[in-house]
Amino acid sequence: MPDMRRTGSAHDPLWYKDAIIYELPVKSFCDANADGIGDFQGLHQKLDYLQSLGVTCLWLLPFFPSPLKDDGYDIADYVNVHPSYGTMEDFKTFLQAAHERGLQVVVELVLNHTSDQHPWFQRARSAPAGSPERDYYVWSNTKQRYEQSRVIFVDAEPSNWTWDPVAEAYYWHRFFHHQPDLNYDNPAVVREMLAVLDFWIDLGVDGFRLDAVPYLVERDQSSCENLPETHAIIKAIRRHIDERTPGRMLLGEANQLPADVRSYFGDGDECHMAYHFPLMPRIFMGLHLEDRQPIADVMERTPSIPDSCQWALFLRNHDELTLEMVTDIERDYMYLAYSMDPQARLNIGIRRRLAPLLGNDRRRIELLIGLLFSFPGTPIVYYGDEIGMGDNLYLGDRNGVRTPMQWTGDRNAGFSRCNPARLYSPVIMDAVYGYDAVSVEAQDSDTASLLYWMRNMIRLRQLFKVFGRGTMEFLSPSNRKVLAYVRRYRDDTILCVANLSRAVQPAELDLGAFVGLVPVEMLGYTEFPAIGTLPYFLTLGPYAFYWFELQRPRS
């Protein structure tokens, strides 16, 4: 029934370009029913907090029924809510409340694989070989097919093929062995996934994060990544969405080099957004080297994308800080710089939160968030990073960065009222990052806190569309510890200058293109001397960053 369909909640079809996305696992955010696991009712209670923080879009990690062997990315039912997180009713109430506050909601759509508990897989393994049911997944009698494709979870899986004794055949999985890959050569599978998409669209969800998109289709003699057939599937999905209701956003997760990721934008007919994976490690690297080169390099090597498309930028997320997209030497450097503790390493990456990675140095945290907010793209803030939450390396896999949100200094950090032993994960309790030291409540009452600073920064960034939509040009001052760039959009010109070093730095900027304009520092609205023909001289304090509006002088 077409009139039952709800339209997207944002008026502007390009809303994702001006968004600030807040990534959160429902499980870890707030527990309303005291069972130790966060739920939609709890999330609903905290919507006012999110609104006051100023973020405009929530990205929910998977909340579907699942055996939870991969934190919900192993889905056993695409069109329902995991009972631990609440009911479908709870989700609808939450969604409506979020929309009332002007918050968009993006959910996960794991296209590539299902859980081995999914009815489709249970049906497939017991169906005879060659039957339509069996054909939902990728089967083989030998492990020797698709040998050129790499194994991603090298620490956990020896091969991409696993023997299934019921089916008496090997099934294909790019990730864990309990996540068999769907067979996208089967049109029935595509139809099923479009139906799933329609289900959530009709509820009013504003966007989808397409998990692991490069791996949809497999072909012999290839790495089975980024294949043209895979792109055809994504195009079909996009076409389906646009025809049904425009204004919904597709965010593709393709952990690839920017040049390869570029193909996932198509000609503006595939994903609206995709992650910029290599930027994140290079920002950290540039900071540690006190050198802008790694950052400027990666941005200059970033291909241009269609006008309707947008990069998704992040500093940290629910996974490890992945180092797959950097060279061996860079990887070595990053391990030496940021994870002397081997506990912190996982697969090919570092599993830590933002604050611990930066030694809990407020100036460095502010600098990196300043960079994140002023680079061309839509920033993603990982839950807890707005208060500088810590992590717990002694929890396995990536669970150390998925601990309960720290709301107060009370029991269970105010996350839940249950017996502490019942929590899905222990709260952080160490002296530096523990919930008695780091919590929303504590920072809410302190105007000098990181939370306050974040609120103000978000408020400021939202005043200027140039950050989400503008172009970017790097300046090249001779001092390589200084990163300077100009963002432009329509009449707005913004100059950003950052000092990547722990010491005071001078910078001489060549602003010849802006002679006569007056830089006005954006936070305090302080006018600086007008730009002349000589290089513009600035002194930057340790880890300082400044944003200037370049304004025409008063007549």
* Given 350, 522, 531, 540, the residue binding another protein (CB under 8 A): 522
**Please, what is the angle between helix 187-203 and helix 228-244, to 10°?**
40
**Best CA proximity match to 88, nearest among 200, 198, 10:** 200
How far apart are alpha carbons 484 and 10 in whole angstroms? Answer: 33
> How many residues belong to the site for another protein (CB under 8 A)?
31
37-45, 56-64, 164-172, 188-196 -> range binding another protein (CB under 8 A): 37-45
Q: Shortest distance, CB of residue 214 to another protein, whole angstroms?
A: 38
Provide the Cα torsion 259, 261, 262, 264; round to 10°.
150
**Residues belonging to the active site:** 211, 253
Is-contact 247 10, C-beta < 8 A?
yes
Q: What does the DSSP assignment read for 243-276?
A: HH-TT-EEEE---S-HHHHHGGGTTTTS-SEEE-
Q: Which is nearer to another protein, 38 or 294 (CB)?
A: 38
Per CB under 8 A, 490 contacts another protein: no
* Given 6, 13, 35, 41, the residue binding another protein (CB under 8 A): 41
**The two three-digit tokens of residue 115, written as one number:** 């859980």
Whose structure tokens read 């959160």?
A: 24
**The two three-digit tokens of residue 318, written as one number:** 């629910």
* Given 186, 223, 245, 551, the residue binding another protein (CB under 8 A): 551
CA separation, residue 242 to residues 3, 13, 199, 216 (Å): 17, 11, 15, 21
Per CB under 8 A, 80 contacts another protein: no
Touching another protein, residues 86-115 (CB under 8 A)? 93, 97
Q: Shortest distance, CB of residue 67 to another protein, whole angstroms?
A: 28
How far apart are alpha carbons 46 and 382 in whole angstroms? Answer: 15
Q: Shortest distance, CB of residue 383 to another protein, whole angstroms?
A: 16
Whose structure tokens read 């009370």?
A: 410
Per CB under 8 A, 425 contacts another protein: no
Touching another protein, residues 260-279 (CB under 8 A)? none
DSSP 20: -
* Given 447, 471, 478, 539, the residue binding another protein (CB under 8 A): 447
Q: Which is nearer to another protein, 157 or 492 (CB)?
A: 492
* Given 198, 330, 492, 510, the residue binding another protein (CB under 8 A): 492
Touching another protein, residues 364-423 (CB under 8 A)? 407-408, 410, 414
* Given 6, 13, 45, 69, the residue binding another protein (CB under 8 A): 45
Whose structure tokens read 């291909």?
A: 303
* Strand ranges inside 221-352, DSSP E: 249-252, 273-275, 310-314, 321-322, 349-350
Q: Which is nearer to another protein, 40 or 200 (CB)?
A: 40
**The two three-digit tokens of residue 144, written as one number:** 């020797």
**The two three-digit tokens of residue 253, written as one number:** 């997760």
Q: Shortest distance, CB of residue 358 to another protein, whole angstroms?
A: 23
Q: Which is nearer to another protein, 100 or 155 (CB)?
A: 100
Q: Shortest distance, CB of residue 148 to another protein, whole angstroms?
A: 52
Is-contact 259 265, C-beta < 8 A?
no
The backbone torsions φ and ψ at residue 381, rounded to the nearest 5 degrees and listed phi first, read -105, 125
* Given 459, 515, 534, 539, the residue binding another protein (CB under 8 A): 459
* Given 169, 194, 257, 460, the residue binding another protein (CB under 8 A): 460
How far apart are alpha carbons 508 and 533 in whole angstroms? Answer: 12
Q: Which is nearer to another protein, 396 or 524 (CB)?
A: 524
Per CB under 8 A, 525 contacts another protein: yes
Whose structure tokens read 């998990």?
A: 211
Q: Which is nearer to another protein, 237 or 454 (CB)?
A: 454
Residues that bind another protein (CB under 8 A): 41, 44-45, 48, 93, 97, 407-408, 410, 414, 440-441, 447, 456, 459-460, 463-465, 492, 522-527, 549, 551-552, 554-555
